[in-house]
Structure formats: structure tokens, C-alpha cells
Structure 1
Amino acid sequence: MTTAPLHVEIDGSPAPDPELLATLMGGYGHFTAMQVRDGRVRGLGLHLDRLDRSTHELFGTGIDAGRLRVLLTGALEAAGRRDAAVRVYVYAGVRVVVTVREPASMPAAPQSLKSVEYWRPAAHIKHVGGFGQSYHGDAARRAGFDEALLTSSHGEIAEGAVTNIAFWDGTSVVWPSAPCLTGVTMALLEPRLPSARRPVTLASLRDFRAAFVTNSRGIAPVERIDEVRFEVDEELMGRVYAAYASAPWEPLEAGRSGGPGSPVWHESSTDAS
């Protein structure tokens, strides 16, 4: 007996690749987000390692860094860009999707965060399908905040909805030790600053002098978490920005775009994480 092929329609029109669409809609995969400037990426090796490590964990096989470099370079060439916000997604069958968008940067203004009771599942993986993050992030913005801060039911702080967070106690930059994604910007800063990892709770916020958030778009100071206010420590932020600037930009290797089973998509929306 012959199995009928999968049929998928989008707004009444047949999808050009229904099997791929079904894979993407399944929501089981992972990604990394990076800023590209003049064909270079800060922490490129960390991004490639993240993709390989998560592919091993989710799908039982690795992904070749050379293949990823070819896909990245090809997507940028096809989009006609040297500067861009780029995401690399990996799905079952090690199907790779690259998105190329306008370059983005972290807002310069100090950020306000609203705490919510939510921790991401498998927090060490930058996985797709972040409904909880989007839900709480949108709710925080509707309440007049810039971002949601994810906490446990006991008020232990893990991370922002799309950021890592760090606190300054006057001696060390303290990164919360609760389960979270170690973002690439965080991974670049941690060894370049006097850093420590330990539990941080909402109840202990007043023990800290300052705070800041990081993600693929950059770094910003925090001015408020719920009703707790922080002064922006200009000296601290200068040290943080200088530490980030000291991380080298790594060039992407030139190569042809695409490959069998490796679609390249191009988007125009603003990168958010």
C-alpha cells in the first residue's frame, strides 16, 4: 500500500516543501543568534561549539563547523550583506535554516525588568519554541517594563526572557547560578571580568550596587527590577564595555551558499535575542 504524500496549505496555497514545513512547525530544534559586522562575528567559535553540542544532545550527531561557515557565508552573500543579524537553526535530520536580518544593537537606555515565576525547560539549550518567554516578555512590556526576569517560585533569579543578567556587589560581577543559558556575550565577559556565580534572589536585590543585561545584541545597564531601583554605575559599565570590546572579531570563511537539505531563508524583522 502506497502512503499518500503529506499535503500542507498556507492561506489556501500548497506549501512548496511540506515535509520541511512540518519539521519546522514541530518546534523541536535549537539555534544561535549572532551579530555580523564586516563579515566577522564576536565569539564565532562559541556559536559553532553551541550548535555542535546542542545538535549532539538533541539528535545524537554533531554538525560540522565547516558546513556551518559555508552556509553562513552563502546566506550573507545571497542577502548582499556584510553587516547583519543572523540566526542559525538546526532541526531533526540536521536540517539547517539560516536567517539574515537587519543588524541590531542593544538599546542604550537603562532597562527595567519585571519578575515572573517561570524557568525555561532545558535552560542550557537555546531551543526554539519559546512560548513562555514570549508570553512573559510581552506581558512585561504591556506593564511598562522592557523585559521579563525569570525566577523560581521562591524568587531565585535565573535569567531574562531573552537576556542574561549580572549584578555588581562592589567587588565581583555576580552571575546567577540558577539554571540558565550561558549566552555567548556572557561567556565572553565572564573570564574578562572579576566574576562569580552564586544564587541571587529577589529578596537579595538591595545587596547589589548595580546590574546589567547581555544578549547577542550587546549590553545594557539595568535601572529597575520590579520596585527596586539601581543607579547606573558608569565606571562599572565602562569596564564591562571595554571587556566586551577586547573580545576579537572572528572572520567567517568564504564559501558557496547552501547545500542539499540545507535551506537558506532571509528575513527583514528585527533580531530579538
Structure 2
Amino acid sequence: MNGLIRLEIDGHSPTPEELYFPALVNYGHLTAFQVRSGRVQGLGLHLSRLASASLALFDVPLEPAHARSLLRHAVRDVPDAAVRVNVYQPAPGGVLSVLVAVRQPVYPSPAPLRLMSVPYQRPVAHIKHLGGFGQIYWGRAAVEHGFDDALLTGPDGSVSETAVHNIAFFDGTHVVWPDAPALPGITMQLLEPLLPSRRAEVTLEDLGAYRAAFVANSIGVVPVAAIDEHVFDVDDALMSMVTGALSSVPWDEL
């Protein structure tokens, strides 16, 4: 894992035996975020995501206070980091385990992204689950074809999300978030109420109706330069509004 600083399972360094299950069984859920000066944007949303997904997948609660203590322990001497949290259940009906990977911090791409549309939507899209073979497969295919990421679409060409981002479009007045099966990303949840937002179906045939687009995930926000052959201009005023909104969100002490 590139840039790995620390890996802990349930608050301690794992033994090889403890790594056996998460290495071989790809069933569980996760969240990911950036830490800066020991603080996290949207920490409450991340903890709520872990709690609700644990109930949905395992019918077992994961107390936010317990998850927070494990996160705090893992980054105890690392003020700036990229953190990924995996939750899984080693024994059916048993207690949950929490794997925390702490890596070097990651920053948004300095260049606008080019996206390649692909015929794929994530199963159980509202949960940030493990087992993203389709996302990885199509993301690699996009890069092999000279793009930066894959844009996931339904059978009717409806846009949902990218392999690793939420996507939004700008019609000159509103930021339009696709009304389609997609993960409610934490950065999207933070931005949506702060921007002149609306939800609507967006298809590949509709791209000409929008003057700009951007993507958002836990790393940040980046403008979109193109989807397939359709080119977008980078709207500096839009991106200033979006980055300004995100920068206004407080950073919560972990």
C-alpha cells in the first residue's frame, strides 16, 4: 500500500492470522478521509456512515464513540494523513473488527479530469462497500484509454458517479447532482446544502446542456475537462464557489 504509515486492527498492530480474513473475504464496508492537524471535515458523517452500514450489512451496531477512539489511536502521532477504515465480521454473528490504514496525505489533482463513460453501476450503491472489482476494472480501462477515471452509467446512459468520485454538473444557475444510484459521498453531503443545488437525471445525451462539471470525494474537488468526446470549459467562478464552500466547512477534532 503506497505511503503506508500504520495499519491497526481493533487498536493494535495485526498478526498475520488477523490479516487472513480481511485479505481473503471481501465483504464489509469502509469510509475514507483526510486528516489535517489532527482534524477531519464531516467527522460526524463518517461515524454515522460506519454505524449505519454496520447495521445494514451485519445487523450489529458499531458505536461511533468506539470507532472514534480507534481512529484517534491510529493517527495519534500523525497530524496529516489519508485514512481508510474497513469494517468486517471475522465470524458470522460475531463482533465486528475495524481495520484502520493510515497513509501519507493525498491532495486533489492539479489538472482537470477527463472521464470515459462505461456501462456499469455499483451494486448496493448507497453503501460504501468493499469488493469494488467493477470500479477498479473500469477505472483501469479508462486510464488505459488515456482518461483519468471512469464515469459509471446505466443501461439508458444515465450518469451516476465515477469510479472514485461523485460528479456534479453546472447549468449556469444550479449545481446538478445526478439522480441515480450512487454513493452519497461525505464531500457531496457537505457541499450540497451550501451550493445552489438540485437533483435531476443526467444522461450522456444531456451533456451539452451543462456549461461545466466537477467531481468530489474525500480528497477534494476537481473540475472535469471532458467526458468521452464532449469537452467542458473550466468555470473558474464555479470552482471558486465550490472550493470556497468546502473550505467553510469546519474541521472536527478527531
Asked if Structure 1 and Structure 2 have the same fold, meaning a TM-score greater than 0.5 normalized by the shorter chain, the answer is yes
The equivalent residue for 1:167 is 169
Match of 2:80 among 79, 83, 92: 83
Q: Which amino acid aligns with 1:91?
A: Y
Q: 1:33 to 1:245 in 2, by over 3 A?
A: same
Q: Is residue 112 from structure 1 mapped to residue 109 from structure 2 by the alignment?
A: no
For structure 2, the residue ranges without an aligned partner over 5 or more in a row are 1-13, 90-94
Q: Could you report, residue by residue, the CA deviation over 1:155-208 in whole angstroms, capped at 9, with x for unpaired residues?
A: 000000000000000111000010000100000000000101110000000000
Q: Which amino acid aligns with 1:217?
A: I
Question: Over alpha carbons, which structure has the higher Rg?
Answer: 1
1:106 CA displacement = 1.2
1:151 CA displacement = 0.2
CA distance in 1, matches of 2:232, 2:22: 44
Q: How does 1:248-263 map to 2 (within 5 A)?
A: 248-252=250-254
Q: Which amino acid aligns with 1:115?
A: S
The equivalent residue for 1:48 is 47
CA distance in 2, matches of 1:101, 1:60: 30
1:141 CA displacement = 0.5
Contact 1:157–1:200 at 8 Å: present in 2 too?
Answer: yes
Q: How does 1:228-247 map to 2 (within 5 A)?
A: 228-247=230-249
Q: 1:87 to 1:23 in 2, by over 3 A?
A: closer
CA distance in 1, matches of 2:15, 2:64: 29
1:22 CA displacement = 2.5
The equivalent residue for 2:210 is 208
Corresponding residue SS for 1:53: helix
Q: Could you report, residue by residue, the CA deviation over 1:48-82 in whole angstroms, capped at 9, with x for unpaired residues?
A: 000000001001021111111111111112xx311
Q: Could you report, residue by residue, the CA deviation over 1:65-110 in whole angstroms, capped at 9, with x for unpaired residues?
A: 1111111111112xx3110000111001311000000000110211
The equivalent residue for 1:97 is 99
Q: Is residue 38 from structure 1 mapped to residue 37 from structure 2 by the alignment?
A: yes
1:18 CA displacement = 3.4
Contact 1:186–1:214 at 8 Å: present in 2 too?
Answer: yes
1:24 CA displacement = 4.2
1:245 CA displacement = 0.5
Contact 1:113–1:224 at 8 Å: present in 2 too?
Answer: yes
1:19 CA displacement = 6.0
Cα RMSD after superposing both structures: 1.2
For structure 1, the residue ranges without an aligned partner over 5 or more in a row are 1-14, 253-273
Q: Which amino acid aligns with 2:31?
A: T
CA distance in 2, matches of 1:250, 1:62: 23
Q: Which amino acid aligns with 2:243?
A: Y
Q: Which amino acid aligns with 2:176?
A: V
What's the TM-score once normalised by structure 2's chain length? 0.91
Q: Is residue 198 from structure 1 mapped to residue 200 from structure 2 by the alignment?
A: yes
1:153 CA displacement = 1.6
CA distance in 2, matches of 1:233, 1:204: 18
Q: Which runs of 4+ in 1 moved over 2 A?
A: 15-20
The equivalent residue for 2:66 is 67
Corresponding residue SS for 1:67: helix
How high is the sequence identity, in percent, across the aligned residues? 53
Q: How does 1:149-188 map to 2 (within 5 A)?
A: 149-188=151-190
CA distance in 2, matches of 1:126, 1:182: 9
Contact 1:24–1:91 at 8 Å: present in 2 too?
Answer: no
Q: Which amino acid aligns with 1:48?
A: L
The equivalent residue for 1:7 is none
Number of matched pairs: 236
CA distance in 2, matches of 1:248, 1:19: 36
Q: Which amino acid aligns with 2:61?
A: G
Match of 2:142 among 125, 135, 140: 140
Corresponding residue SS for 1:113: strand
CA distance in 2, matches of 1:50, 1:28: 16
Corresponding residue SS for 1:103: coil
The equivalent residue for 1:18 is 17
- Bigger RCO (CA 8 Å, 6+ sep): 1
1:21 CA displacement = 1.3
